[in-house]
Structure 1
Amino acid sequence: MSLSPEDDLDVRIRRTRDRLRRAVLELASEHPVEEITVADLVRVARINRTTFYKHAASPADVLAEILYADLDRIRAGWLDGAATIPETWERSAAELAEHLLRYDALYTVGLVGQRSAVLYRLLIDHFAASARGLMDRDPALLPDGPGPREWRARAYSSFIAHGQVGIIEAWLSEPTPRDPALLISVSAATMSTGLHGL
């Protein structure tokens, strides 16, 4: 059985995307993504610049796509559940620890001793969306107070997001091997406290 031209094109597109993903993960494990040039990426991926620009605008876009997909999968898995808030944060913190360990080298390079704007923004967006998703699922989690509900939801989500990224930075600064239980306990405790008593 032979492949149709469309199937052959799909295989080539998938192969190119896989090469780009592997290359950006390799390079981002050595240098902050902001320092990776398109020339570096196409050299490691063994593709040309024209092909690269058919798939992405920058190396940071390729990396963000990989990490967002993993974080979005994690969030979708627990936002749909019927678990209690403490159980939800415990589970999400454990899955976050697995994510950070899976991409340990690139997070260490990007967030320890410097701050990669790409990684920082990505994590802030993830936590803000996660906190907001919980408040939308359970409106009683949003504390009463002055100002419109929408503004308070954005403000609390942003506060929680920045705190969680601070916890990640502190954990990544620990010597290796890092204890995931440390991240999980602090992250879950602060998220639970934050959504019940801001």
Structure 2
Amino acid sequence: MDPRKQRSQARLYAAALGLAADRPMSELSVTQIAEAAGVHRSTFYEHADSPQSLVEAALTAELDLLRDALMSDRSDAATSLDTVTRGVLEHVLRHADIYRRELSDGGGALHAMLSRHFRGTSEALIERGRVAIDIAVEGTPRSDVTDAAARFLADGTVGLIDGWLRLPHPQVEQFLRLYAALLPDWWPHRPAV
């Protein structure tokens, strides 16, 4: 992407996240975001087709940086996953107003986005051999078990984040203790302390 387009994208992302912190994504308009970013409406459409997709793209871009760091981390899987999970939780807290509103007890717009992202990360770790799902279920192909396990972990993680954000003062360590206690044995993690 050329530098001019990158600058426009950064301004649009910042404007979209700033506005979405104050109101539901469904109430955002292209005009509001373009004006807040200091760009023309046509520039908006070079980066997204709707305000919701722009907010999701801005959040996903931050999560992608965390995933990239995880994939290049040469620590053992449990250490790498602890580091990236902390990063994800800090990301969620930075955008807590958006996530609280848009996760909306499993039916919100961001539930599916987070689930897809977490599932994609799990699948990448499995493909690279950093996570092994050694579960056999009679009559179920191994690939279906692996897919189900990745989906189960992704949706469960999003549900836990949703509940955690509804606490009066969510703390990262509090989440990590509960998460470690709930994670299945096949997922690399540090035991709950």
**Same fold (TM > 0.5):** yes
In structure 2, the partner of 1:3 is: none
2:145 maps to a residue whose letter is R
Whether 1:157 and 2:150 are equivalent positions in the alignment is: yes
**Which amino acid letter does the alignment assign opposite residue 162 of structure 2?**
E
1:125 aligns with 2:116: yes
Greater helix share, structure number: 1
Partner of 2:176: 184
Q: What RMSD in Å do the two structures reach over aligned CA positions?
A: 2.4
Structure 1, gaps ≥5 residues long: 1-9
Cα separation, partners in 2 of 1:195 and 1:18, compared to 1, 3 Å: closer
Q: Distance in 2 between matches of 1:46 and 1:139?
A: 44
- SS in structure 2 opposite 1:141? coil
| 2:162 equivalent to 1:172 | no
CA distance in 2, matches of 1:96, 1:139: 19
Which stretch shifts more, 53-62 or 43-52? 43-52
SS state at 1:195 partner: coil
Change in Cα spacing, 1:143 to 1:18, as seen in structure 2 (3 Å) is same
Matched, 1:144 2:144: no
With over 3 angstroms needed to count, the CA separation of the structure-2 counterparts of 1:75 and 1:13, relative to structure 1, is: closer
Query: How far apart are 1:192 and its partner, in Å?
Result: 5.0
Task: Give the Å deviation of 1:124.
Answer: 0.1
Identity value in percent: 29
Report the Cα distance in structure 2 between the residues aligned to 1:93 and 1:188, rounded to whole angstroms: 11
Q: Name the TM-score, length of structure 2 as normaliser.
A: 0.82
- What residue number does 2:91 align with? 99
**Mapped partners of 1:38, 1:174: distance in 2:** 33
Q: How many residues align?
A: 185
The letter of the residue matching 1:95 is G
SS at match of 1:83: coil
How far the C-alpha of 1:61 sits from its partner, in A, is 2.2
Unmatched 5+ stretches in structure 2: 189-193
Larger Rg: 1 or 2?
A: 1
